[in-house]
Amino acid sequence: MRKLLARRALFGVFTLWVVSVVVFLATQALPGDAARAILGREATPERLAALRDQLQLGESLPSQYFHWLGNVLTFDLGNSLASRQPVLDLMGPALLNSSVLMFLAAVIAVPISIAIGTWSALKRDSVLDQSVSVLTLVLAALPEFVIGILLVLVFSTGFLHLLPAVVVIPPGDRVWNHPDQLVLPTLSLVLAVAPYIIRMMRATMLEVLDSDYVLQARLKGLPERTVILRHAIPNAIGPVAQVIALQLAWLIGGVVLVEFLFRYPGIGFQLTDAVSNRDLPLVQALVLAIALFYVIVNLLADVITLAANPRVRTAA
Amino acid sequence: MSDAAAPATTSNPASTPAPALVVDDLKIIGIPSRAAIIEAIMLEVRPGEILGVVGESGSGKTTLGLALLNYCKQATQVDGGHIFVGDQELAGLSWRAVRRLRGQAVTYIPQSPASAINPALRIRTQLKECLSGTERTVMHRVRELLREVALPDDDDFLARYPHQLSGGQQQRIAIAMAFAARPALIVLDEPTTGLDVSTQAHVLETIREMCKTYSCAAVYISHDMAVVAELADRIAVMYSGRIVEMGDTAEVLAASQHPYTARLLLAVPDLEANRPMVGIPGHAPSPMARPTGCSFSPRCPLADDHCRSAVPPETETTPGHTVRCFKAGQQLPPVVTPPPLESWDSAKEPVLVIHGLQAGYGGAAVLENIDLSVQAGECVALLGESGSGKTTLARCIAGLHSGFTGELTLVGEPLARSSFKRTQEQRRRIQYIFQNPYESLNPRRTVRELILQVVHAVRGKVANSEAVVQEALAHASLRPDHADRYPDQLSGGERQRVAIARALATEPDVLICDEITSALDVSVQSSLVELLRGLQAEMGLTLVFITHNIALVRNIAQQVAVLEAGRIVEHGTVEQVFADPQHPYTVSLMESTPNFQLPDGLYTPTPPSEDPTG
Amino acid sequence: MSTTRPETVQDDNKPAKQPTLLRRALRTTTTKVGMVLTLIVLITAFAGPLLSPHSPTEFVGAPYASAGTSGVFGTDNLGRDVFSRFLHGGWTLMMLAIAATAIGVGLGALVGVVAAYVRGWVDEMLMRGGDVALAFPQIVLALLFLSIIGPKLWLLVLMVAVGHLPRTARVVRGAAVSVVERDFVKAAEAVGIARWRIVLGEIVPNITGTLAVEFGLRLTYSIGLVAGLSFLGLGQQPPAADWGLMINENRIALTVQPWAVALPVLAIAILTVGTNLVTDGLARASVGSDKGVEQ
């Protein structure tokens, strides 16, 4: 098991390396003058020269890459082109804010989804199960920003003026001091993520409940509670962990549009901002951070899946 | 190991105790069709008695077995009748009472222990939850049980997960769980399916002893007449949802009253080849499309209009022996037997020669030093249990497994390892028929397209394609209109005939049959063997017949090669090997296989007929 | 036993040939509803430009005039007719989404089937490569390239398609592997049928259900992604009429003039729900067509 995990971790590192190459190639190695592409037509010769120097554009491509990678690995991510501040200082608070948002969404969505999915599977084909099925199907179809706008239309306009439509947080203040502003962004993400987990949990539970070993447990005369808690759920955890990981990894992409919609000061909003300002050092850093998050979440899911499988656990 | 008749004569003592199980007029229907899956079931089983329920797929035997535990599968429900276990009636029990009943009074041993034991829980947990009491008494009983089923009882073993046990050990755990609470009744649903014969023999022995020790009534459900005949005190034969015949084992075997029973007995391959194995034409109807009147009438040689319109009632022919047939006890017309197997002249030119073949998957060696030669018009059986490498060998010959070294020659020409590298002519000469006809036919093609696809691939364009198709169908005893069907519209036996027709359409020299009957019912299996024997006699076909069933070998092959762990341990003519097996492995295989012998009088040899297809 | 009519008893057992996938799917109510929803939006999007009362770029009144005062649904941030812009703003979105889905699912299916059939190191490479590609959330991948090369529509289609590719490849490979392992593929190999014919004639016909479902699913996502990127300002550029762009331009005045946002949002919502319901119907219809009798 340790060997397997080490292999997965190694693959994660490899993934990050490939991501770094893609990000580097996309931002710095495009044909033409990268500095001019970044700064635009109206750039002064001095600024162009300064940027060329910063990016080491005079050198060969591999040497540029290794120079850049060396900087990244030592957390020297350069200065933002727009605000001239170090990228790391800009990213810090945004990362924290996004983490708060994603953490809230995950903590609310995962347990509720698992509960609803299990319940729906146990009440298979009832009116309740069918309603859950249709509702999750509808929600799963809606893009996250559409969910967000619909929520805004319902809760922030017209007859219900319950919640703010955009997030306005004074500089230096923390998001969690404004819980009312967190409600709609969190709810958008929860509604976007939950249907997949519910559907997967339901499907996995149905499969497990149909298995011979659950039939056998019932024919042994065990109480239904024991059948479900001891015999069914442990076998459903592995596959569901994978889906939850996929959804959490999806969250980091999902926050982009939701943060943009609500003007929530996280990395998603920062990324859209950096993109429209052509602030390449910031874009590079943000994409790398997102990939890092993805790799970590997947590694965690692998740990859970492997730990839930006695075949792997016992193969010491 | 032929003590088949022993238990039947010693059971049924004069002072019979109260029955452990009584089933009275039970009917279970499907939802929403309301078609009867089983009906008019009447049974009694006494403590210590084993009732064997024999039936082919679709007969409703599993539905009956589960009903005894007050369990109905999805989309089925009880629609009348009563089940008593001891003095307790199952219908109307509270949920709580059902639970107590299941763990204690009635237990269940499922078909496949590998899927019925929870893979996520340790053996200890799963054994302990069958029992109640203090930790000390429970663990004491768990260890005692393990010893009784001949498994280790140490903590190390108890801490194992199911995947750390062999198939036979898993089945023993299932048996231990079933006997844990000393039940009054135990239901066994084909508990030896998928086990090798030697393991099967041990498991059956354990079951017999446990039933005796606990004087527990048992219902043993199986499709395998040979196993049931060896194990059961009484036999109930199920067909199409009804018990068509029931009585003491010896009596059912010696004096079967129902035509289905009689034909089913003849369909069982005979290890000693004293009688031919004969199939029953057609196949059992599905619960959705059962014929009116007697369900067996469409396949019955005695059926008349009365049989086709009215359901025969249950009648008692002798005390304790009941039958549902208007023609009960009437003499069946003699069966047409295929021509006897001829011995072949070993001096003839071999078609296929294998020399020094070694094969493996990845790094693991599967076959070592295989030498074999197959003469024209001869049938060579490759006999081996699962994991012996017999299928790998067949695939090497067919060019489907190229990871091997050694020589392979077909009529003197060396064969390339991969089928893609062989000439079109070589590919035509060797045809392969797969084990599972549900897998080997592309469901998106009609039978005609399936046959022509192969013909075009190995013979190029043929002028009279329709004639080729029809001829192939006729060879495989299929009707002309089968050509327009899709595989989904055919039964398992028909599908396998299509696979045979497809191979024959290429006019092959060598036909490789890889366990081609193992996915099918006994009656269908026998029909296929009859077909192949007929074809061999008629067309001079050369066969390589791969099987795990030693009794089948006796009935089809002239030569046999016994494979054990990737080596041929014994090789010779069938007469030689069966009369005087040399290798201990062959001896043990022959001893473990139930030797199913019918009492004299049931089968009287008839002179061979002109008609080879039967 | 008579041998003249060996198996004539089985006609009762002959089930009818299965109708097509879509036909089977359309038996359920939810699929029918989904079909109707999809068609409503499709017709609006494609017939819309013919029916619109004004040009999408024509100024018809004051900015953010409310519904009824100027046009049926009022005017937008620049005083253009919301209804006309709505009617014009759907078809590009559809075309982009359909094109991206077709390219992404087509190439993904190709990669998936090849990986499943060839196996070995090619399979390993393709699938590991796909795993790496998954580390880019689809929207982030599109953002990265669109920000550097510029908001070009062909690039948008390409990036959405590239995002679908590894995801589709993974699903199709899964389905194809179980077909490749079935014996009829081996049977075709044994008689030496060319490999590309085996892929097209034996494997692909048996995964049509998966392909249809995958196409529907990816189309639903494509619509959301293309609309989302337009919403971020990386799709069609002003003054073009586009649903995503309309939401972006008018969301500041959501409380004053909700229609300019609500119309495109509802259209996208109805369309994605519709396609997803149809996809679900296809998925249900494509499972379990070939099962035994005993159970």
Residues 6+ apart with CB under 8 A from B603: B266, B275
C283 Cα to chain A: minimum distance (Å): 12
Please give the structure tokens belonging to residue B1. Answer: 């190991």
Question: Is some CB atom of chain B closer than 8 A to the CB atom of A230?
Answer: yes
User: Based on the number of CB atoms within 10 Å of its own CB, is B461 exposed (0-12), middle (13-18) or buried (19 or more)?
Assistant: exposed
The whole-number pLDDT of residue B217 equals: 93
User: Would the pLDDT of B23 be above 60?
Assistant: yes
User: Can you tell me the distance from the alpha carbon of B489 to that of C265, in angstroms, rounded to the nearest whole number?
Assistant: 48
List of chain C residues whose C-beta atoms are within 8 Å of the C-beta of residue A150: 265, 269
Check CB contact under 8 Å for B289 and C2: no
Tell me what the pLDDT averaged over chain B comes to: 86
Check CB contact under 8 Å for C140 and A249: no
User: Would the pLDDT of B482 be above 50?
Assistant: yes
Most A CBs within 10 Å, among C30, C127, C140, to test the A interface: C140
Nearest CA-CA partner of C183 in B380, B395, B497, B506? B395
Question: Is some CB atom of chain A closer than 8 A to the CB atom of B177?
Answer: yes
Most B CBs within 10 Å, among C7, C180, C193, C295, to test the B interface: C7
User: Can you tell me the distance from the alpha carbon of A296 to that of A302, in angstroms, rounded to the nearest whole number?
Assistant: 10
For residue B400, give the nearest of C8, C186, C206 by CB distance: C186
Contact A151, A187 (CB under 8 A): yes
Give the range among A20-34, A192-206, B206-220, B409-423 with minimum mean pLDDT: A20-34
In this structure, how many other beta carbons lie within 10 angstroms of the beta carbon of residue B563?
A: 24
pLDDT band at B467 (very low <50, low <70, confident <90, very high): very high
Most A CBs within 10 Å, among B118, B125, B131, B187, to test the A interface: B118
Question: Is some CB atom of chain B closer than 8 A to the CB atom of A232?
Answer: no
Contact B181, B131 (CB under 8 A): yes
Please state the separation of Cα B529 from the chain's center in Å: 14
pLDDT band at A169 (very low <50, low <70, confident <90, very high): confident
Which run of H or E residues covers position B253? helix B249-254
Contact B145, B174 (CB under 8 A): no
**How much of chain A exceeds pLDDT 90, in percent?**
12
Check CB contact under 8 Å for C289 and B488: yes
Residue C36 phi, psi dihedral angles, 5° rounding: -65, -45
pLDDT digits 0-9 by tens, B327-339: 887 888 777 665 6
Residue C51 phi, psi dihedral angles, 5° rounding: -100, -10
Going from the C-alpha of A285 to that of each of A24, A68, C195, the distances in angstroms are 11, 11, 46
User: Would the pLDDT of A49 be above 90?
Assistant: no
The whole-number pLDDT of residue B13 equals: 45
A212 Cα to chain B: minimum distance (Å): 5
Please give the structure tokens belonging to residue C118. Answer: 């060839």
C255 Cα to chain A: minimum distance (Å): 5
Nearest Cα residue in chain C from A146: C265
A114 Cα to chain B: minimum distance (Å): 19
Going from the C-alpha of A311 to that of each of A243, B24, B109, B174, C253, the distances in angstroms are 21, 46, 24, 20, 58
Burial string for C213-226 (b: 16+ CB within 10 Å, else e) reads bbbbbbbbbbbbbb
Going from the C-alpha of B42 to that of each of B39, B244, B293, B323, C279, the distances in angstroms are 9, 11, 19, 12, 49
Q: Which of A61-65, A167-171, A240-244, B439-443 has the highest mean pLDDT?
A: B439-443
pLDDT band at A40 (very low <50, low <70, confident <90, very high): low
Q: What is the pLDDT along chain C (295 residues), one digit of tens a residue?
A: 333 333 333 344 445 556 677 788 888 888 899 999 999 999 998 888 888 888 888 777 777 777 777 677 877 777 788 888 888 888 889 999 999 999 999 999 999 999 999 888 888 888 888 888 887 788 888 888 887 777 888 989 999 999 999 989 988 998 898 888 888 998 998 888 888 889 988 898 888 888 888 898 899 999 999 999 999 888 888 888 889 988 888 887 777 788 888 889 999 999 999 999 998 888 888 764 322 222 2
pLDDT band at B5 (very low <50, low <70, confident <90, very high): very low
User: Can you tell me the distance from the alpha carbon of B19 to that of B7, in angstroms, rounded to the nearest whole number?
Assistant: 18
Question: Is some CB atom of chain B closer than 8 A to the CB atom of C11?
Answer: no
For residue B119, give the nearest of A220, A226, A310 by CB distance: A310
pLDDT digits 0-9 by tens, B261-282: 988 888 888 888 777 788 888 8
pLDDT band at B244 (very low <50, low <70, confident <90, very high): very high
The whole-number pLDDT of residue C212 equals: 86
The whole-number pLDDT of residue C268 equals: 93
- Over residues B185-207, the mean pLDDT reads 86
User: Can you tell me the distance from the alpha carbon of B254 to that of C249, in angstroms, rounded to the nearest whole number?
Assistant: 91
Q: What is the DSSP letter of C203?
A: I
Residue A92 phi, psi dihedral angles, 5° rounding: -50, -65
List of chain A residues whose C-beta atoms are within 8 Å of the C-beta of residue B130: 220
- Work out the angle between the directed axes of helices B259-267 and B522-539 (0-180°, nearest 10): 60
Most B CBs within 10 Å, among A124, A207, A219, A235, to test the B interface: A219
pLDDT digits 0-9 by tens, A233-249: 888 887 888 888 888 88
Residue type, B249: T
Q: What is the DSSP letter of C9?
A: G
Check CB contact under 8 Å for C10 and B491: yes
> Cis omega (within 30 of 0) on the bond before C239?
yes
| pTM over the 0.90 mark | no
Residue carrying structure tokens 């009632």: B313
User: Can you tell me the distance from the alpha carbon of A157 to that of A30, in angstroms, rounded to the nearest whole number?
Assistant: 45
List of chain C residues whose C-beta atoms are within 8 Å of the C-beta of residue B289: 12-13
Helix (H, G, I), strand (E, B) or coil at C81: strand
Most A CBs within 10 Å, among C128, C145, C148, C237, to test the A interface: C148
The whole-number pLDDT of residue C7 equals: 33
* Touching chains, B (3+ CB pairs < 8 A): A, C
Nearest Cα residue in chain B from C295: B58
Nearest CA-CA partner of B550 in B532, B565, B537, B564? B564
User: Would the pLDDT of B607 be above 60?
Assistant: no
Residue B272 phi, psi dihedral angles, 5° rounding: -100, 0
Residue type, C124: E
pLDDT digits 0-9 by tens, B518-543: 888 888 888 888 888 888 888 888 99
Helix (H, G, I), strand (E, B) or coil at B245: strand
Check CB contact under 8 Å for A19 and C132: yes
Nearest CA-CA partner of B556 in B529, B596, B521? B529
Helix (H, G, I), strand (E, B) or coil at C164: helix
Helix (H, G, I), strand (E, B) or coil at B420: helix
> Cis omega (within 30 of 0) on the bond before B285?
no
Please give the structure tokens belonging to residue A239. Answer: 């596959």
The whole-number pLDDT of residue B11 equals: 44
Complex ipTM: 0.83
A 189-208 residues with CB below 8 A of C?
A: none
Please give the structure tokens belonging to residue A296. Answer: 């970590």
Please give the structure tokens belonging to residue B176. Answer: 């231990």
In this structure, how many other beta carbons lie within 10 angstroms of the beta carbon of residue C33?
A: 16
User: Can you tell me the distance from the alpha carbon of A39 to that of C59, in angstroms, rounded to the nearest whole number?
Assistant: 35
Nearest Cα residue in chain C from A248: C137
Please give the structure tokens belonging to residue B247. Answer: 């009585």
User: Can you tell me the distance from the alpha carbon of A12 to that of C251, in angstroms, rounded to the nearest whole number?
Assistant: 40
User: Can you tell me the distance from the alpha carbon of C221 to that of C89, in angstroms, rounded to the nearest whole number?
Assistant: 19
Contact B322, B316 (CB under 8 A): yes
Contact B513, B546 (CB under 8 A): yes
Please give the structure tokens belonging to residue A193. Answer: 């993520």
Residues 6+ apart with CB under 8 A from A131: none
User: Can you tell me the distance from the alpha carbon of B351 to that of B377, in angstroms, rounded to the nearest whole number?
Assistant: 9
The whole-number pLDDT of residue B226 equals: 87
The strand pair at B234-239 and B217-222 is best described as unpaired
Residue B90 phi, psi dihedral angles, 5° rounding: -75, -45
